[in-house]
């Protein structure tokens, strides 16, 4: 093979592994344009962190930040051209919350590629101001649009999966002196009124959140200090009182290794006491953590229930444990890509549920039979870009959620849609 051939082959290979490029985020008309790539400075020495964290907390306390709905909320939303059949939606979450950049249409960044880039964690809060949109999954209508408090932007959302509660992660936007950002939390109920949650004011780099099915407990995975060299921490908080309930720490090694990437996907099982996570110790393996059992390390208190088959050409979203704990949903393969279910008891393939042309990511799953997924260019249909819909055996029923035309974008681990 000549050197020319090798260069062409490498270029072709890059074409093959590239995901759709994320939408362009231009500043809103009239606003001063600012380069998005402005990075937070490097972290300060570790001894500064406690002072920095204290200062951030004080700053938050005195700023009396308040979340407010946009004027006129709940707003009239976009009316979808055709609502999905009611039968296909039976038993599915009635509401979804999507994050959207200011001045743009809601777009979705889901667990498409998986790994979280350290640089993304650093730059996320400095990017475009992000709003939260509460939508009705049956009609596709926007019910409310919520803007973050001054000085903050929404960087993540999690839902209880049953319409009871959504929790929004509001992240401090300006990171002075390389400090980790401060996070404050808001609850958004289907009534559409956001409420500042009593806890926790957390300083660190958050890369996974999950609210329990009863809406009472928030699980957060985060790096408490600098990105480099920190050990991942998982914590649970009472949303009623703000009290820290439990903490577990990850393996005693730097979280960001091998290229600066890692990822955590957190979800609660329906029992309300078991947390499923993936990406802390081994990105291919899904673990279950019984939050009622003693122990304060993730490796010591978790059990592995599923490992992505080594021969799977793994191209899309993270595995997601169905809330009944019986099955794992996973998208594997490249062109076409299969959305499949695996047994958590045996690790064996149960069913190939659906195929998409390019990529897919499972967003919500209650059992081995039904899930909500984002797919890009569904097979057998005209190219429509990204769609979110209900996946059952061999069938995809689109939900007409208010997505921008670009729809989906790479997120490297961040979920900006929740049910």
Partner 1 sequence: MNPQTEAQASPSGATEQVTELYAAHATGLVRLAMLVLAEQAAAEDVVQDAFLGLYRRWHALSDPGKALAYLRSSVLNGCRDALRKQSRRPPAALLAPDAESAEARVLLGEEHREVIRALRRLPGRQREAVILRYCLALPEGEVASAMNVSRGTVKSASHRGLAALARLLKEDQ
Task: Name residue, tokens 């994050």.
Answer: 99
Burial 55-80 (b: 16+ CB within 10 A, else e): bbbeebeeeebebebeeebbbebbeb
Q: How many residues bind partner 1 (CB under 8 A)?
A: 51
Q: Which of 35, 66, 90, 383 binds partner 1 (CB under 8 A)?
A: 35
List, as own/partner pairs, every contact residues 241-248 make where C-beta atoms lie below 8 angstroms and the sequence separation is at least 24, other chains included.
Answer: 241/198, 241/199, 242/197, 242/198, 242/199, 242/200, 243/199, 244/199, 244/200, 245/217, 245/291, 246/291, 246/296, 247/296, 248/289, 248/295, 248/296, 248/297, 248/298, 248/301
Residue 18 found at the interface with partner 1 (CB under 8 A): yes
- Residue number, 90 or 383, with CB nearest to partner 1: 383
Six-digit token string for 7? 């260069």
Q: What stretches of 26-150 show up as alpha helix (H) in DSSP? A: 49-63, 86-89, 118-123
CB of residue 299 to partner 1, shortest distance in Å: 15
Residue 383 found at the interface with partner 1 (CB under 8 A): no
- Residue number, 94 or 253, with CB nearest to partner 1: 253
- Residue number, 8 or 293, with CB nearest to partner 1: 8
- Residue number, 195 or 284, with CB nearest to partner 1: 284
Task: Report DSSP letters for 353-400, one per residue.
Answer: EEEEEEEEEEEEESSSS-EEEEEEEETTS---SEEEEEEETTEEEEE-
Residue 174 has a CB neighbour count (10 Å cut-off) of: 11
Segment interacting with partner 1, rule: CB under 8 A, options 58-66, 156-164, 250-258, 395-403: 250-258
Segment interacting with partner 1, rule: CB under 8 A, options 54-62, 180-188, 276-284, 396-404: 276-284
Q: Which of residues 253-272 bind partner 1 (CB under 8 A)?
A: 256-263
Residue 3 found at the interface with partner 1 (CB under 8 A): yes
Write out the E strands in 164-294: 166-172, 182-188, 194-196, 202-203, 205-211, 217-223, 233-238, 244-249, 261-262, 265-268, 274-278, 285-290
Residue 398 found at the interface with partner 1 (CB under 8 A): no
Residue 340 found at the interface with partner 1 (CB under 8 A): no
Sign, Cα dihedral of 386, 139, 110, 281: negative
Segment interacting with partner 1, rule: CB under 8 A, options 82-90, 173-181, 277-285, 290-298: 277-285
- Residue number, 291 or 340, with CB nearest to partner 1: 340
Six-digit token string for 83? 């609502």
> Site mask, partner 1, residues 103-132, x = CB under 8 A?
----------xxx-x-xx--x---------
Task: Name residue, tokens 């960044």.
Answer: 109
Residue 37 found at the interface with partner 1 (CB under 8 A): yes
- Residue number, 30 or 380, with CB nearest to partner 1: 30
H or E element at residue 12: helix 3-17
- Residue number, 116 or 355, with CB nearest to partner 1: 116
CB of residue 383 to partner 1, shortest distance in Å: 14
CB of residue 222 to partner 1, shortest distance in Å: 17
Q: Is 178:44 a contact under the CB 8 Å cutoff?
A: yes
Q: Which of 137, 315, 361, 386 binds partner 1 (CB under 8 A)?
A: 315
Alpha carbon 138 to its chain centroid, in Å, reads 22
Six-digit token string for 128? 């475009």
Q: Which of residues 349-378 bind partner 1 (CB under 8 A)?
A: none
Residue 25 found at the interface with partner 1 (CB under 8 A): yes
- Residue number, 21 or 87, with CB nearest to partner 1: 21
- Residue number, 9 or 176, with CB nearest to partner 1: 9
- Residue number, 37 or 91, with CB nearest to partner 1: 37
Residues engaged in binding partner 1 (CB under 8 A): 3-4, 6-11, 13-15, 17-19, 21-22, 24-27, 29-30, 33-37, 113-115, 117, 119-120, 123, 256-263, 279, 282-284, 308, 314-315, 410, 412
């Amino acid at each position: 093979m000549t050197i020319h051939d090798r260069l062409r082959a490498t270029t072709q290979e890059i074409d093959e592994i590239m995901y759709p490029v994320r939408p362009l985020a231009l500043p809103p008309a009239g606003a001063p344009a600012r380069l998005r790539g402005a990075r937070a400075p490097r972290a300060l020495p570790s001894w500064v962190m406690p002072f920095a964290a204290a200062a951030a907390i004080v700053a938050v306390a005195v700023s009396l930040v308040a979340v407010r709905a946009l004027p006129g909320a709940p707003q009239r939303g976009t009316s979808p051209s055709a609502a999905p059949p009611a039968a296909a939606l039976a038993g599915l979450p009635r509401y979804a919350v999507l994050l959207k950049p200011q001045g743009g249409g809601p777009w979705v960044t889901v667990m498409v590629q998986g790994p979280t880039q350290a640089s993304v964690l650093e730059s996320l809060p400095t990017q475009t101001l992000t709003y939260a949109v509460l939508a009705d999954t049956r009609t596709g209508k926007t019910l409310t649009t919520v803007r973050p408090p001054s000085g903050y932007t929404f960087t993540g959302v999690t839902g209880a999966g049953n319409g009871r509660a959504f929790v929004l992660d509001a992240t401090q936007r300006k990171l002075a002196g390389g400090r980790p950002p401060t996070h404050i939390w808001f609850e958004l109920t289907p009534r559409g009124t956001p409420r500042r949650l009593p806890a926790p004011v957390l300083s660190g780099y958050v890369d996974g959140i999950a609210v329990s099915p009863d809406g009472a407990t928030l699980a957060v995975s985060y790096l408490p200090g600098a990105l480099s060299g920190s050990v991942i921490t998982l914590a649970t908080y009472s949303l009623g009182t703000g009290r820290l309930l439990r903490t577990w720490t990850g393996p005693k090694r730097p979280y960001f290794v091998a290229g600066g990437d890692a990822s955590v996907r957190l979800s609660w099982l329906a029992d309300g006491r078991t947390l499923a996570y993936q990406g802390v110790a081994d990105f291919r393996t899904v673990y279950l953590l019984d939050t009622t059992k003693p122990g304060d390390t993730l490796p010591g208190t978790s059990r592995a229930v599923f490992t992505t088959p080594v021969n799977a050409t793994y191209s899309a979203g993270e595995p997601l444990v169905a809330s009944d704990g019986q099955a794992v949903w996973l998208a594997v393969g490249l062109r076409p890509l299969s959305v499949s279910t695996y047994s958590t008891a045996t690790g064996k393939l149960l069913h190939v549920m659906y195929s998409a042309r390019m990529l897919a990511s499972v967003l919500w799953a209650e059992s081995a039979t039904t899930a909500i997924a984002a797919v890009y260019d569904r097979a057998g249909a005209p190219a429509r870009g990204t769609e979110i819909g209900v996946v059952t055996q061999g069938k995809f029923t689109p939900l007409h959620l208010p997505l921008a035309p670009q729809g989906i974008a790479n997120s490297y681990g961040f979920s900006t849609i929740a049910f």
